[in-house]
Amino acid sequence: MHYHQALAEEIRTSAARLLAEDVGPGDITAQLIPESQWGKAQVLTREAAILCGVAWVDELYRRLDSRVELTWLRADGDALEPNQVFLEMEGPARSLLTGERAALNLLQTLSATATSARRYTDLIADSGVRLLDTRKTLPGLRLAQKYAVTCGGGYNHRIGLYDAFLIKENHIASCGSITAAVKEARGIARDLPLEVEVETFEELDEALAAGADTIMLDNFSPADMREAVQRSSGRATLEASGNVDATTLQDIADTGIDCISIGRLTKDVQAIDLSMRIVHTERR
């Protein structure tokens, strides 16, 4: 399935799942509010952030109650300032409140991912090095977080185990060598991207000779990365991985490698502090 088709399907299924786990057979607290009560609400952020999750919230409220109207004042990828209202809502008060937590849970997590990506990409904005995510995503949110990374200015590594080869230490040990593993992979699917993870210069040379498209330099020092760039001479894309954080990122980017993968973009995110408040109600 094409990535965009898969993402659209993920938005539909995740919205349904979020509602099912929170609302269950019905929102009993919302029954305190008369069915005829109409409300207006605003959603704001308490801290600076990069917005992400618009389509998920649209789908969530569409499923919950089509009478709810959402007016987005900002779009995915936009920067938000503390206390900024970015969404205005109007509809049955019961429905506004029933969907609140599911919507905010998704928004706060995806916006946190996008914010994390933007924070790191800004550090190497002038280097030309691409910042990549990994498969270290929150369970059930793979495509959503991968999308959020792009909203923050980053790039996606492989989506899963099906769209690219990544030959790592245990694959190499099982196949007998890098050369054998690459040969086997090419025989399985020649048209898919093929990456090899290496830990030494000897492994780097073997991966280059075997014809790997991309080579991941696992926990190489910046000095060794520079040497790897010289050895490869552009024969493969070089990716740095391991021990990457805000304090090491610039030094790594300065080595001349092509891209840097960071698991922190998706696995260590801290939810953005968001709030929804009812600003007006009336009987209809």
Which entry of 168, 186, 226, 267 is annotated as an active-site residue?
A: 168
Catalytic pick from 136, 142, 264, 267? Answer: 136
Q: How far apart are CA 229 and CA 46, in angstroms?
A: 43
Structure tokens at 27: 């929102």
Q: Which of 10, 27, 59, 197 is catalytic?
A: 197
Which strand ranges, in their side-by-side order, compose the sheet holding 165-167? Answer: 130-132, 259-261, 237-241, 214-218, 194-198, 165-167
Q: Which residues pair with 165 in a beta bridge?
A: 194
Annotated active-site residue in 213, 218, 224, 273 = 218
Question: d(Cα 159, Cα 190) in Å, to the nearest integer?
Answer: 18
Active site residue 277: no
Residue 197 annotated as catalytic = yes
Instruction: Label the pairing between strands 274-283 and 37-45.
Output: antiparallel
- Residue of 46, 101, 231, 277 marked active site: 101
Q: Contact, 149 vs 266, CB < 8 A?
A: yes
Is 101 known to be catalytic? yes
Of residues 129, 141, 159, 112, the one with CA closest to residue 240 = 129
Reduce the DSSP state of residue 71 to 3 states and report it. Answer: strand
Give the CA distances from residue 7 to residues 58, 142, 208, in Å, rounded to whole numbers and listed in that order: 14, 10, 34
Distance of CA 140 to the CA centre of its chain: 12
Residues marked as catalytic:
101, 136, 168, 197, 218
